[in-house]
Structure 1
Amino acid sequence: MSSTTSFTKAPVNEDAPMSVHSVRVLGTSITRKSFLDTLTQGLFTPQTTSDVFKEAQDIATKLDHHDVFDEIKVYLDTNQNLKDTVDVTIQLKEKSRGLVKTAFCTGDNEVHVIGSVLSRNLFGGAETFDTSFSFGNRTLAAGEAVLSTPLNGSPYLTLSGFVNGAIKDHSLINPYKEESQTKGLRVKIQSLYGENEISYALTQRDITAYPTASSTIREQSGANTKSSVYHSFVHDTRNHKTLPTEGHYLGLFQEWAGVGSKGDSNFIKHEIFGQTHRTLVNKGVGTDAVRVSLSLSGKAGLLASLDNNKVNLSDRLYLGGPLSLRGFKSGGIGARNGNDALGGNVYWAVGASMISTIPGSAHLPIKLHAFANAGNMSQWQRGEEMNKTIEDLSREPRVSIGLGLIFHHEVARIETNFTIPLRFRTGDVIDSGFGFGVGINFL
């Protein structure tokens, strides 16, 4: 249940001098006084009426973002004994400490069910302890425990420690199963520009090749260790996650494996993903409404081994899929060993989509979809001339076009399309004709 925040003030001259004489917080039995003092100490700094109101509103917003209060009410009362001062009263109603929830989630052509138990305000400072379990078609089983705490009382800066384990079936791209156990630390920073996340993770992995696997996969079977630092930055102004009609998205993702000279992996990986969405036609109401939007998307990636050793299959870059470069199988572009995808070291892909309501059925959560996709993938090794790689990436790009339907759901984008690959290379695994895709990441 979301919290309710109210802010009450009497009509006053906002340019008049004002300062805060006292602050009282009522209605708490779990939350620590020291935590609340840290949050409210900024109230004593403003010296004008408008600044006092602004600071009080900012504190109410921060309390709401901590997600440990059902109600937040802020009152400013004139102090009768001191001129140009007010007394601030913050009335809070705490949420219950425990929460059990289940969710239906999606990934790249993956569907899984998650159950979690959340303990919040664990030590009275908006700390949380979250344990979750999930089961799905690609992540067969997974479990995670995360302990998080805000730093310096800020809801926009949190530190987390986590441990997790998973069993994943990679047969959508390659015939092998991977079991992993990970432990690490994570820092999240939220700002007006977006969300940054920096984490360190130590992962133990065990790969088991299926009987149909190629020699490349069988060679990588067995245990391996990865010591990595991750960074991501996400700026998202889209009006919807799965079927946006306005706004844009920018995601930057980096990984450095081999930190502290630990583990069997030593590489740097960069990926960038961007989208922009705009409504072109919006007229009419009800079932006869006509709404047409244009979506432009692009992504690119670069993977560089730092010791010239082969990068593990689970860490390589792959291209193709029903929500990616449509018209090609998942991982269907790039080098192969028999039926198995070897991925690549550098890629780019772009997409353009026109999405429209169905005539006479604008109220339905189903939209018409026309699209064109293009992209390429190449092999590149550190020390090689980049000009040769750029030339290969620009030569004979893979291209596909198609028509289809998008089912609009809150948790997933579900597409059924008829796709025609127009350009491809020898060795590519194409997926022409009717196809089906589900996920939240789309080109």
Structure 2
Amino acid sequence: MGTVHAKEGQAASHLPKADINYEECQETKQLPLTVPARVDRIHVEGLGRTKNDIVESVVKDIFTAETFEDVLFKTHKARMKLDQLNLFRNIAVHIDISRGRKATPDGLEVTFQVKELRRLVGGVTTEIGNNNEGSLVVGLKAPNMAGRGERVQADYSYGSKCTNNFNVAFIKPLIGGRNPVLSASVYQRHSEWPTSGFKLRERGLVLDFGINSFPLVKHNFQYDASIRDLGVFSRNSSFDIREESGATLKSALRHILSSDLRDEAIFPTCGSLFQFTTELAGLGGNVGFVKNELYLQSNYSIIDDFVLQTTMAAGLMKSISDDKQISVCDMFHLGGPLSLRGFKSRGIGPKSGEDALGSLCYFSGGLHLYTPLPFRPGRGGFGELFRTHLFVNYGNVADPNKDEPIVDQLRNNMRVSSGVGVAVRLGQMARVEVNYCFPLRSEQDDRVNPGVQFGIGVQFI
């Protein structure tokens, strides 16, 4: 086993001045990747307040490499793990032959050159939410406070739909082989929902423990306690919304299981995404329910840049006690450019007057074809931000309290829409869709939206 030198120092002049990229080396086959090799020493240069033990726990697996290919792969993997710790603003990696009295015949030395983040980092950014809204975010972060990745961050955001959020969080990555992370945050959120006739203010605390059971399977265990104040949006809000107005206390446990195997998040060409959320509310307070929600996405590359995508989402919730309520802000809502195109936001499901009340069960799915723009303008450059989009959407809502089976309720009177449009990438954080929609099947009390529909978000059905 070699040694790790995790101290600040000067880079050796003979080291190659290029970052190691494992994928590029595999593609070009310019290096003898299968020749025997071992790592004698690992140097980590540029450390200041970062403690040695957290760096050593990440890079020590490189010593188990037996070939040059293993060295490249495990070095690349260690670099990604270091980046995930949010300790450094720049990480460079160099590999050279081992020198010195303790050098072995096939020995190598790996050098990580890092630049730590400043003690206080702030900025103004934009953020896209999953409710067809963009937000301006002002943030302040104190990274690596005690030298092992601990950080405190505060964020304030103001959204295009008059929502505003304030959040203060403490995040602590733990040393371990499954990437454990512990966090605690306090928050205040204000949101307005004119299609349901209410506005909501929440103040609460979230404790979260995240861990990987497998390299690409992540679990988040959360406790969420919040005081919610629900008020009427306007004088036209319905009686059912007025009856629910007032303060409620929610205390809930939540488990989020997710696995993302896609090659990228915005315009994936292959791979799948799985996310299953279970929430139990009612450990205290006057809100109580069991809520399960599933989201699936699969992508298949047909021919060059032609991608077929299937999506599916479903949710089911039930009350756990007659003494505890389910609020309109807890219910599932269907309709809109992110869930069921061709219908207005929250346009499907039970209503009181003009206000959408939400449902206890829903199902929604889609079949999509993404292609390059006709004639490929801007190929290899600006044109790669755009995709032509053809789709078919379908979905329905159900009430588990009815005598009719849920499957029959969802199958009967299924809403269907189709359309064509253009999707635009917004960096690596979200996308914009402009579609021309054709509602094919709807009910009399649905709010349909034929014609042009605009959507912006992260996760679309």
Q: Give TM-score scaled by structure 2 length.
A: 0.80
- C-alpha deviation, 1:434, in angstroms: 2.6
The residue that corresponds to 1:28 in the other structure is: 47
The residue that corresponds to 1:352 in the other structure is: 367
The residue that corresponds to 1:300 in the other structure is: 314
The residue that corresponds to 2:184 in the other structure is: 161
Asked if the contact 1:298–1:351 (Cα under 8 Å) also holds between the matched residues in 2, the reply is yes
Name the aligned partner's letter for residue 330 of structure 1: S
- C-alpha deviation, 1:326, in angstroms: 1.5
The residue that corresponds to 1:368 in the other structure is: 388
| 1:6-405 pair list within 5 angstroms | 25-36=44-55, 38-39=57-58, 46=64, 53=71, 59-69=78-88, 70-73=90-93, 77=98, 80=101, 90-97=111-118, 98-107=120-129, 108-138=131-161, 140-152=163-175, 156-171=179-194, 173-190=195-212, 191-210=214-233, 211-258=235-282, 261-282=283-304, 291-308=305-322, 309-363=324-378, 364=383, 365-381=385-401, 388-405=405-422
Greater shift in the superposed pair: 65-74 or 96-105: 65-74
- C-alpha deviation, 1:6, in angstroms: 5.2
Name the aligned partner's letter for residue 368 of structure 1: T
Name the aligned partner's letter for residue 272 of structure 1: L
State the distance in 2 between where 1:104 and 1:43 align: 38
Structure 2 residue ranges without an equivalent (≥5): 1-17, 22-30
| 1:26/1:379 CA distance change after superposition, 3 Å | same
- C-alpha deviation, 1:271, in angstroms: 1.0
- C-alpha deviation, 1:267, in angstroms: 0.8
| 1:126/1:420 CA distance change after superposition, 3 Å | same
| 1:14/1:133 CA distance change after superposition, 3 Å | same
SS in structure 2 at match of 1:213: coil
- C-alpha deviation, 1:297, in angstroms: 1.2
State the distance in 1 between where 2:93 and 2:332 align: 50
Asked if the contact 2:39–2:109 (Cα under 8 Å) also holds between the matched residues in 1, the reply is no
Name the aligned partner's letter for residue 71 of structure 1: I
Name the aligned partner's letter for residue 408 of structure 1: R
State the distance in 2 between where 1:37 and 1:297 align: 41
Asked if the contact 2:55–2:82 (Cα under 8 Å) also holds between the matched residues in 1, the reply is no
| 1:42/1:219 CA distance change after superposition, 3 Å | same
Match of residue 456, structure 2, among 434, 438, 443: 438
State the distance in 2 between where 1:249 and 1:216 align: 37
| 1:86/1:415 CA distance change after superposition, 3 Å | closer
- C-alpha deviation, 1:71, in angstroms: 3.2
- C-alpha deviation, 1:239, in angstroms: 3.9
Greater shift in the superposed pair: 343-352 or 134-143: 134-143
| 1:434/1:122 CA distance change after superposition, 3 Å | same
State the distance in 2 between where 1:251 and 1:165 align: 26
- Fraction of identical pairs, as percent: 26
SS in structure 2 at match of 1:109: coil
- C-alpha deviation, 1:345, in angstroms: 1.1
Q: Which string of whole-angstrom CA distances, capped at 9 and with x for unpartnered residues, describes residues 191-227 of structure 1?
A: 4323322211111111111211111111111111111
Greater shift in the superposed pair: 83-92 or 372-381: 83-92
Q: Which string of whole-angstrom CA distances, capped at 9 and with x for unpartnered residues, describes residues 401-442 of structure 1?
A: 223333333243222223222222232222223322222221
Asked if the contact 1:125–1:153 (Cα under 8 Å) also holds between the matched residues in 2, the reply is no
| 1:299/1:226 CA distance change after superposition, 3 Å | same
- C-alpha deviation, 1:61, in angstroms: 4.4
Asked if the contact 1:66–1:155 (Cα under 8 Å) also holds between the matched residues in 2, the reply is no
State the distance in 1 between where 2:68 and 2:269 align: 37
- C-alpha deviation, 1:105, in angstroms: 1.8
SS in structure 2 at match of 1:63: helix
- C-alpha deviation, 1:174, in angstroms: 1.0
Greater shift in the superposed pair: 98-107 or 119-128: 98-107
| 1:353/1:136 CA distance change after superposition, 3 Å | same
- C-alpha deviation, 1:358, in angstroms: 3.3
State the distance in 1 between where 2:261 and 2:253 align: 27
Asked if the contact 2:216–2:261 (Cα under 8 Å) also holds between the matched residues in 1, the reply is no
State the distance in 1 between where 2:148 and 2:274 align: 32
Which structure is higher in strand share?
Answer: 1
Q: Cα RMSD between the aligned structures? A: 3.3
SS in structure 2 at match of 1:313: coil
Name the aligned partner's letter for residue 230 of structure 1: R
Asked if the contact 2:36–2:106 (Cα under 8 Å) also holds between the matched residues in 1, the reply is no
| 1:5/1:187 CA distance change after superposition, 3 Å | farther
Q: Which string of whole-angstrom CA distances, capped at 9 and with x for unpartnered residues, describes residues 76-99 of structure 1?
A: 736636989979675543323232
The residue that corresponds to 1:285 in the other structure is: none
SS in structure 2 at match of 1:218: helix
Asked if the contact 1:280–1:294 (Cα under 8 Å) also holds between the matched residues in 2, the reply is yes
State the distance in 2 between where 1:24 and 1:224 align: 55
State the distance in 2 between where 1:216 and 1:281 align: 52
Asked if the contact 2:39–2:110 (Cα under 8 Å) also holds between the matched residues in 1, the reply is no
Greater shift in the superposed pair: 319-328 or 233-242: 233-242
SS in structure 1 at match of 2:171: strand
State the distance in 1 between where 2:126 and 2:251 align: 31
| 1:78/1:14 CA distance change after superposition, 3 Å | farther
Q: Give TM-score scaled by structure 1 length.
A: 0.83
| 1:127/1:186 CA distance change after superposition, 3 Å | same
Tell whether 2:429 aligns with 1:407.
Answer: no
Asked if the contact 2:368–2:391 (Cα under 8 Å) also holds between the matched residues in 1, the reply is yes
| 1:281/1:225 CA distance change after superposition, 3 Å | same
Asked if the contact 2:46–2:116 (Cα under 8 Å) also holds between the matched residues in 1, the reply is no
SS in structure 1 at match of 2:329: helix
The residue that corresponds to 2:13 in the other structure is: none
| 1:83/1:327 CA distance change after superposition, 3 Å | closer
SS in structure 1 at match of 2:348: coil
